[in-house]
A and B are shown apart, each in its own frame.
Chain A
Amino acid sequence: MKLENLKTYYILRKGLFGRLVVKAVDGVTLEFKAGEITAVVGESGCGKTTLGRTSLKLIEPTDGKIIFEDRDITHYKGDMKWFRKKAQIIFQDPFQSLNPYHSIYEILSEPLVVLGEKDRSVIDEKIISVLNEVKMTPPEEYLTKYPHMLSGGQRQRICIARALLVDPIYLVADEPVSMIDASSRAEILTMFRNIQKERDLAVMYITHDIATTKYFSDLIAVMYAGKIVEYGPTKKVLKNPLHPYTQALIDAVPDPDPNNRFRMRPVVPGEPPNPINPPPGCRFHPRCPKRFEPCDKEEPVLKEVESGHYVACHLFK
């Protein structure tokens, strides 16, 4: 999956002074390769969910290109079945994304039926094998259950199973564990990581939790106000964050440590900008502790500073 200078704008309403345009995604270029998890990290409203959904053509892009298996599908309007088989999504809320009136068997057979599978024995076989894959064993025990009979973690496993059923090659996982208790998160993510490696999947892992990216991603793209401000291998970005916003995100997350309480946490002041009216120049400049002369005028572009490590910041010429 390749995204080239992708833009997704929402037109809010025609106000007194014309339209209000929310630039949710404003020129993002990213590539998702088989066998790699790319974490898209950012705070609420930065555009990460819109980015994920646009890549799946669940939202129409405003500009730019979506290229899937070397095929430009940006404006593709025909039969999407082939694409739906290859590109899937796991939603944030396992409580809302499963129909409460359907049994697990019904929930899991639906995508196969919709995509044209008619042979019941093929369907049953696939369901059993995917339930094994997400460690819902013995699978037969879960088939007749309904979503409310399962824990949050088990429901999310079902959501993952549903996405895997059609054997996709690209998956968007949008905050897949943020609604699950902390103690089960690591378990689900580890399982997901193993499946991803096993199946050689390309994954966009959308999260606000930078701590989990360390264990569950190969690459990180940090997003702020519709733009990627830093991109690179997870280890490099976490060890040596270059963009002041990435540094602030990392500083804001405490590790469990009894000494934390004796010190103030370094913070950036203010809040992310309103995407209707982002600041000129670098969108982070009003909050940036290191801003200097060009920052409020020129918009920095993403540049490769070290091999594979990109940053959009005037500090790096």
Chain B
Amino acid sequence: MVKNILEVRDLYLYYKTYKGIVQAVDGISFNIPEGQTLGIVGESGCGKSSTANTIIRLLPKNTYKYEGSIKLNGEEITTIPMDEFRRTIRWRKVAMVFQGAMNSLNPVLKVGFQVAEPLIVHLGMDKSEALDRARQVFEKIGLTPAFLDRYPHELSGGMRQRIVIAMAMIMNPQLLILDEPTSALDVSIQAQIMNLLKSLKKEYHLSMIFITHDIALASDISDLLAVMYAGEIVEYGPIEEVLLNPQHPYAQKLIASIPRLREDKEPEFLPGNPPGLINPPKGCRFASRCPYRFEKCSEAPDLVWINGNHYVKCHLYSEGK
């Protein structure tokens, strides 16, 4: 049995706004075995980025509720005091590539320095040693040392995305969270970045969380898949099972809606919209759009473990249906 690098249980993140409480992450659970990649997929606003932020504990000021258990290598990290979390976990063990990060590089600093900076700030390394390490990371991600001296505006989108990945990799993390790392890139560049991530995964036995709204892209790297809907994970399991034999009606519809280039399958569609996350419906959140809904769906469903590491949150599978 491979050990889990990450175990998340009943994790919540709510935000307080003037309109009400936003239940962005509402009691989610999952595991990531060491060296594997979990893909988190779902529509815009379903809570994917919020989930990532809870793990690396970057919580906005208006956080209303942050609860649950996150174990990294078996160690509970939600209760670690903030300064210690900063010193020992964030960037060192868990690093993240933020959604849209390639457009927020500092325009007046050379990218080599931007990549090396955490080593100077956090590890007290001297500048030349840090730049040396940056050079090594550049090599890993397919950039020649000449790029160290470039400014962000001199680089193409694909190159900037590599820089952002280098920044996350510089402290040698065990877990890398990637939030929509390729969605701003053209398909041919996207494929280059995916190949890079695949080779990092393999070469460094890196564990990853890969967040995207594009399931086909998630399948390019993920060993496990979590389908999120309105703040909840409605299905989670090995990618073979979730992708080829989805159980949750939402997962089924979402996967059937993907246009396929190489198969003769008309994309199906899923009418309607997800509920808002302020006062979402009490029962199953997908019920109003679900073709299989029945009386019980007005109550919130529990997780039903189908086998091993695969669960679904749906009354169709609970006992005494």
- Could you list which residues of chain A lie within 8 angstroms of chain B, going by C-beta atoms? 43-44, 151-153, 181-187, 190, 208-212, 214-215, 238, 248-258, 260-261, 264-265, 267-269, 271-272
Contact = CB atoms under 8 A, between A and B. Distances in A.
A238 B216 CA distance: 18
Decide if the interface of chain A is mainly helix, strand, loop or mixed.
Answer: helix
Given A183-B43, A254-B216, A43 B243 contact: no
Contacts of A255: 216, 258, 260-263
A183 B157 CA distance: 27
Which 10 residue pairs across A and B have the least CB separation, nearest first? Answer: A187-B269, A186-B267, A43-B186, A252-B191, A252-B187, A211-B259, A181-B43, A256-B216, A258-B240, A258-B239
B219 interface: yes
Contact of A190 (B191, B217, B222, B269): B269
A253 B269 contact: no
B254 A183 contact: yes
18 contacts: A151-B273, A182-B214, A182-B257, A183-B43, A211-B216, A215-B267, A253-B216, A254-B217, A255-B216, A255-B261, A255-B263, A256-B255, A257-B216, A258-B240, A267-B191, A268-B188, A271-B157, A271-B158
Contacts of A249: 187-188
Contacts of A258: 219, 239-240, 243-244
Most B CB contacts (10 A, CB to CB) among A43, A190, A267 go to A267
Contact of B257 (A44, A186, A257, A261): A186
B219 A254 contact: yes
Contact of A256 (B186, B194, B260): B260
Given A258-B219, A261-B198, A268-B188, A214 B261 contact: yes
B266 A253 contact: no
Interface in B245-264: 253-255, 257-263
Contacts of B222: 261
B219 A257 contact: yes
A185 B44 CA distance: 13
Nearest to A268: B188
A187 B191 contact: no
A183 B186 contact: no
Given A183-B43, A260-B219, A265-B191, A211 B261 contact: yes
B104 interface: no
B195 interface: yes
Interface string B120-143: 000000000000000000000000
Contacts of B187: 43, 208, 210, 249, 252-253
A186 B254 CA distance: 11
Contacts of A209: 259
Given A182-B213, A182-B258, A214-B261, A256 B219 contact: yes
B190 interface: yes
B37 to A, nearest CB: 8
Interface of B: 37, 43-44, 156-158, 186-192, 194-195, 198-199, 213-217, 219-223, 239-240, 243-244, 253-255, 257-263, 266-271, 273
Contacts of A152: 44
Contact of B220 (A44, A187, A260): A260
Nearest to B270: A183
Contacts of A151: 273
Contact of A44 (B37, B186, B223, B268): B186
Most B CB contacts (10 A, CB to CB) among A153, A238, A261 go to A261
B188 A248 contact: yes
A182 to B, nearest CB: 6
Contact of A183 (B191, B244, B257): B257
B311 to A, nearest CB: 18
Contacts of A267: 188, 191-192, 195
B220 A265 contact: yes
A261 B271 contact: no
Contact of A264 (B37, B198, B216): B198
A248 B187 CA distance: 9
Given A182-B213, A271-B158, A256 B243 contact: yes
Nearest to A186: B267
Contacts of A215: 259, 266-267
B191 A251 contact: yes
Contacts of A186: 257, 259, 267-269
Contacts of A182: 43, 213-215, 254, 257-258
Nearest to A44: B186
B259 A214 contact: yes
Contacts of A184: 269-270
Contacts of B254: 182-183
Contacts of A260: 219-221
